[in-house]
Structure 1
């Protein structure tokens, strides 16, 4: 694969085929929701593109803001028929959250989120308690993201703020794609808490620790360190994927059909002025843009 250096800038390349860019890189950090699948079904073309990149000698680490450890994420990918040959490893926001909680063992915690996310507490001495007695809020999302909105939590967040309770946000995403719907995530609640003046510790993208871990996993898969200038982050979120890539000094490929698809896809075509306006407003500039990941 030929040499390259980060070239994110105000004129991203519009791609029809990922193979036109792939040879520039030795490693990929690939988002999952919105790129590899939509929460209901996997995208075969995206899985094929990652597989072909690996066949050419590249390495792929899937990087996700899911608030569960990577083991359950792998099981979920198996259920969606995402082939193992499409990736080398997975690192999740849940992995980073588990490490944060281990450092705070012994504190009484209130779990703000659904029962399916309880795996972040596994093996940690952290008694779970009611909201009134909590010394720590572990925010993995809304209790019922199919019916609730962040406004439903206004009184609860205000009560935590009044006691200056620290919050760990296990998923910085504001929304996630599930089928044809966009559902609120933990990041929406954490944003609301910060707006009240609450203290929030963030796990996951766009914050550097998850990228440091993902790059370490990439080096393990490759059998050697991979220079950041030869790493490409692929994702569909301006706030997390593109901002995180920029902070970590790696190039980014933006997938426009994910959570921003309703804003940036018009009649099955990229809205180029809309893309430029969105990048300018967010002050993030990817190396390239695709509608969907296709080899």
Structure 2
């Protein structure tokens, strides 16, 4: 049964490392969440390692720049693992072909920057939809519009057997008080229409493999039993942790704040009902990371 806690410090001494989601836990898409930053910095000061594990469709270096802008201090984390880096590796290995149609916003174009970690990467060329062998999806062009606007292109792509590489499996995020669609919502539609979508962020294994590699650069020999995953996404953060057989802390004041009736803390009955409906089993829960 999920245990509701008041502070990360109540349980943190059980774990050598944290895999921490960003959006909804450390920042709200506009600025840092002060209590979360303080809790992570304090955990590191006590000797723990913090790897930020995010479904951002960009490199860790671009995410680090964004964290600086949001005023998340470097004292709060050791390293970053992004779905973007995991997906970029697959793209440069030819997962969806060499000629690709890009879906996303201008700030996502760093996705195509060379990846130095690979030997003999495939040459990738951005082309028009009609010329494409594959689709690279970092998100919809308009994050406030329904993904249904892409149905005509997806019907054609499905008939041609084109694969879609999803660089961010999140369905939605909240930017401040406004909800936005992510690449996961677009990929979900394509899959429902009969197309083939490839996923590289949470809850899928590749990003956890990357997170473990990042962790090993800072702390050797940490076993899965010594890792706690923290996040507000039931389908990404919590199911991902369950799939990796690591403990999890569900932040209920993010995406599920209404359903869990979270103010300072979740309502126990509402939380239990939500957990049952979503078929998840987080180890712990709290309203806001603190």
TM-score, normalised by the number of residues in structure 1:
0.93
Q: Name the count of aligned residue pairs.
A: 282
Determine whether 1:263 maps to 2:259: yes
SS of residue paired to 2:230: strand
Residue 119 of structure 2 aligns with which residue? none
Checking the alignment, whether the CA contact within 8 Å between 1:182 and 1:259 is kept in structure 2 is no
Instruction: Determine helix, strand or coil for the equivalent of 2:217.
Output: helix
Structure 2 residue ranges without an equivalent (≥5): 115-121
State the partner residue of 1:183: 180
Give secondary structure in 1 for the equivalent of 2:125: coil
Distance 1:151 1:288 in 2: 36
**Equivalent-residue separation in structure 1 for 2:242 and 2:76 (angstroms):** 25
**Alignment match, 1:107:** 98
Unaligned runs of 5+ residues in structure 1 are: 1-10
User: How big is each residue's C-alpha offset from its partner over 1:220-261, in whole Å with a ceiling of 9 and x where there is no partner?
Assistant: 211x12010010000000000000001111100000011111
Shift in Å at residue 176 of structure 1? Answer: 0.9
Q: 2:143 aligns with which of 142, 145, 168?
A: 145
1:246 aligns with 2:213: no
CA contact (8 A) 2:253 2:263 kept: no
Match of 2:23 in 1: 33
Contact kept in structure 1, 2:227 and 2:246, CA below 8 Å: yes
What is the alpha-carbon distance in structure 2 between the residues aligned to residue 267 and residue 54 of structure 1? 27
Secondary structure at 2:248's aligned position in 1? strand
Match of 2:123 in 1: 125
**Considering only aligned residues, what root-mean-square deviation do their CA atoms show, in Å?**
1.3
Q: Structure 1, residues 138-179: CA drift from partner, whole Å, max 9, x if none? A: 011110113x11121111211211211111000000001200
Look up the SS of the partner of 1:95 in the other structure.
helix
> Do 2:140 and 2:182's aligned partners in 1 also have CA atoms closer than 8 Å?
yes
Judge conservation of contact 2:234–2:278 (CA < 8 Å) in 1.
yes
Aligned equivalents of 1:17, 1:269: Cα separation in 2: 11
The runs of 4+ residues in structure 1 deviating greater than 3 Å are 266-269
Alignment correspondent of 1:192: 189
Structure 2 counterpart SS, 1:226: coil
**1: CA distance between counterparts of 2:105 and 2:59?**
15
Distance between the aligned counterparts of 1:239 and 1:276, measured in 2? 16
Q: Distance in 1 between matches of 2:40 and 2:23?
A: 15
Q: Is the Cα–Cα contact under 8 Å of residues 170 and 203 in structure 1 kept in the other structure?
A: yes
Q: Is the 8 A contact 2:252 2:262 kept in 1?
A: no
Cα distance in structure 2, aligned partners of 1:281 and 1:27: 29
Aligned to 1:262, the other structure's residue is in SS state coil
| Distance in structure 2 (CA, Å) of the matches to 1:266 and 1:256 | 6
Cα distance in 2 for partners of 1:127, 1:189 equals 22
CA distance in 1, matches of 2:56, 2:155: 26
Aligned to 1:173: 170
- Contact 1:101-1:121 at 8 Å conserved across structures: no
Q: Which of residues 3, 8, 16 in structure 1 aligns to 2:6?
A: 16
Residue 63 of structure 2 is aligned to residue 67 of structure 1: no
